[in-house]
Every structure is written in C-alpha cells, then in structure tokens.
Amino acid sequence: MFSGKTVVITGASSGLGEALAAGVAGAGGNLALLARDAEKLAAVAERCRGAGARVVDVPGDVVKAGDCERLITVALEKFSSIDHLVLNAGVSMWARFEEVEDPELFSNIMDTNYLGAVNCVRPALASLKVGGGLITAISSVQGITGVPSHTGYCASKHALQGFCDSLRIELEGTGVDVLTVLPSWVQGTDLRARAYGGKGESIGEEARGHSSSAVPLDRLVPKVLRAMRKRRRRLYVPGYLRIVPLLKALCPGLLDRIVRKKVGR
C-alpha cells in the first residue's frame, strides 16, 4: 500500500513519529519528515534511507505556518505528490489546573496539538485532493474524555478531534479521508518526560511511569499503518477504548471514576 506513495510525517525525530517513518520506509514509501530537532531528524532520515526509502527531512516547528508550508513545498518538489499526511507532532502536560503558574502553557499546547495540525493541512490539502489522499491525526482517547492533570492537553485533543470530524464531512466526495488515532498511554516515547509541569518546565526525570495498560510502540505502529491502509475513520488502541464514548453518554459518573482510578495508579 505504501510502495511508491509519499507520506508526510510531523514530529518525526523520536517516538511514534520515528517508528511510523521506519514502518513506511520498510514498506517502500517515500518520506517527508519534519521535527524541531534537526540533528535527531537527520539521524531518523538516514536510517530510513538505509532501509531503501527516498527521504527529505525538513527541520521546523508545526507552530510556525511558514515551516509547514516549506515542508509541503519540499515534499512536492521531491516527490510531485502527497498521498498521506500524518499529524503526529504534539506536547503534553502533567499538572493540576490550580498548580499552573503561567497560563501561557495552555496556549503553547493548543498551538502545537491543534493549530499545528491546521498549519499542515492547509498547504497540503490541494495535493491530497489530487491523489485521493489520507489525513491521519495522532490524537488520544483524551480527545474523547477528560483526564485530571491534563486539562490543557485534553482541551487541545478535543479541538483536534472536532477539527478532524468537521473536516471529514467537508471533504466527503473529494476522495480525501480523515483518520483519527485514539490510543491510551503509549510506552516508548519521551512525551511524558517532555510534558509541561505547573511552571511551564519539562518535567523530565520526574515524569510518572506508565501503567501496565500502556500500549508499546511495537504494538501501536502496525495498527496505525494497517488503519491507514484500510482508510479507517477512527482507531482505538487498545480496542476496548471504543466503549469510552458510550460510557460518557450513558454513565458519565462511572467513566469519571474509572479515569480517576487509572490516573491515580
């Protein structure tokens, strides 16, 4: 499915973005990669080239619309088309609302997790329409329900989910589909270590460990790539998370208690 296709991935220098890039490279796809850390990004690009992929790496930040436009321009110059746009760049937080000292933290999270997606979709959409492409947004089950100590993160993922759901309706009949990936906690990334604390700092080594229910990267990546190939609408990982919207509608108090217990662990 990815052989000869062009896949654009943001947040590609580590974690899930890096793993998805490796998966696409192994499947014969072309890659256009963006991340803020130029050195790490170059290393990922080189590994993907070693797997036989054609790759362009573009250092940049999804918060900056100009960087996103440059990513799409470079991808089109190199490969002539864009078949997949994977919106993976993201930041998190771990602090209760009343512990946040600098409210700019909320703007920073929203700028990356929501507006960063908007900044990438805008310049890519025309090309995606030409080839009947797919937009894949790496969201979270926290885009469906709230989680304590993640007020800003949940808000940004709710915004991303609303954007994708609305965009999907607008694009009906154009050949462009929209997939949202809604995992639980994910092992094997540094998202937690880089999460904002109450003072706006990265919590680093103070990051809490993952629960036993966290999804390892080597389990998540094949599921995401398969969902992309099948052009799914939503992907919940683990699959039992499909019950979350139903619980929220029918038993919201029960869902709150479950979430509170999970986070408490």
Beta bridge partners of 86: 9, 136
- Taking the C-alpha atoms of residue 116 and residue 138, their distance in angstroms, rounded to an integer, is 12
Q: So which residues are the catalytic ones?
A: 153
> How many helices (H) does the chain have, and how many strands (E)?
9, 9
43 token code pair: 């290393």
Q: Please say whether the beta carbons of 213 and 183 come within 8 A.
A: no
Give the side-chain half-sphere CA count within 13 A for 157: 26
Residue 217, CA distances (Å) to 62, 83, 178 in order: 23, 23, 22
CA 37 to chain CA centroid, nearest Å = 17
User: d(Cα 82, Cα 127) in Å, to the nearest integer?
Assistant: 6
Radius of gyration of the chain (CA): 18
Tokens of 33: 């990669």
